[in-house]
Amino acid sequence: MTRDAIVVGAGVIGLTTAVVLAEAGRHVEVRSRERPAETTSAVAGGLWWPYRIEPREAVTAWALESFRQLSRLADRPDETGVRLVDGTYACTEREERGGWAAGVPGLRPAAGGELPAGYGHGVRARTPLVDMPAYLGYLERRFAAAGGTVVHRAVGDLAEAGRAAPLVVNCTGLGARDLVPDPAVHPVQGQVVVVENPGVSEWLAAENRATGEILNVFPQPYGVVLGGTAREHVWDRTPSPGTARAIISRCARVDPRLAGARVLAHRVGLRPARSPARLEAGRLPGGARLVHNYGHGGAGVTVSWGCALAAAWLADGDGSGEGPVSPGRAE
């Protein structure tokens, strides 16, 4: 089969982009040195929330498109791993939310009694909460059903991929630092602890702006994901026992039931951060079209469908030089 496109990277951004391209009728191959279950995406807590990602105007369009797509998938949670779950986002200081907030049905200010102690501001919302290992498996199956193939091998040169297909989409996340190369993309280390669920049914995300401390409680079918950390430019993927104890302690202060919950797993992932996220097109030597789609930090699942549709729109462009993608929907 002749390849129409090669997508480099098998995380949530790469797989979603591959699905969009394949379902549009292209013959698509995903190349990645890691299997989807081994990517940073598999470690993510899975909450839809535009977290530390720019540019703001484009993020609004990307995130709301993803909200719509994920909300539809939540009708089949056993198949897709996506559920709609009520929860609270809390902050120590009042903050201005982007335009995306107006597009979330039912989002409202949290009352004082709905906020954890020490947090004076926040909102309540019902948002997608994604079981990432299950969801990545769903995307793989959906991609295969559209005729796509996944090849587990490293890509050391984008130009090499461009000799094998007329379109290359670079969804390598942190790998783009060396592959492009792009020194603007860098890791933001995140550590989480997974514990047995003592009865938690809602998600909680809280941020202390003065200290930079974050607190996450995300109930998943396999347990409760407790977080976390956001350490810029830290490459270490080894879980720290001291950090794990601090995470459990913080989370137990807002929900004492978590203090004695049995620990199931420790996980560390490196968010691929870049400001702004890169979604633009150009040409490779030899003429193949190149679309970059990476640098989404901790908001990969949050913007995945919007960015995938925008990348597909860029793939159909005229190929004249590089330039930022239009933030509008690409359908």
Annotated binding-site residue? 8 = no
SS (H, E, C) 183-213: CCCEEEEEEEEEECCCCCCCEEEEECCCCCC
- For 268-292, letters b (16+ CB in 10 Å) and e give bbbbbbbeebbbbbeebeeebbbbb
Determine if residue 40 is labeled as part of a ligand binding site: yes
Residue 177, annotated ligand binder? no
16 in a known ligand binding site: no
C-alpha 41/C-alpha 38 separation (Å) is 8
The annotation status of 172 as a binding-site residue, yes or no, is yes
Check the annotation: does 228 bind a ligand: no
Binding site annotation covers 80? no
Q: Residue 271 annotated as binding?
A: yes
Does 299 show up as a binding residue in the annotation?
A: yes
* Cα 40 from Cα 33, distance rounded (Å): 13
Q: How many residues does the chain have?
A: 331
Dihedral (C-alpha) 217, 220, 223, 229: value to the nearest 10 degrees? -40
Q: How far apart are CA 59 and CA 50, in angstroms?
A: 7
Instruction: Give the residue numbers of the binding site for D-dopa.
Output: 271, 298
Instruction: Give the residue numbers of the binding site.
Output: 40-41, 155, 172, 271, 297-302
Instruction: Give the residue numbers of the binding site for FAD.
Output: 40-41, 155, 172, 297-302
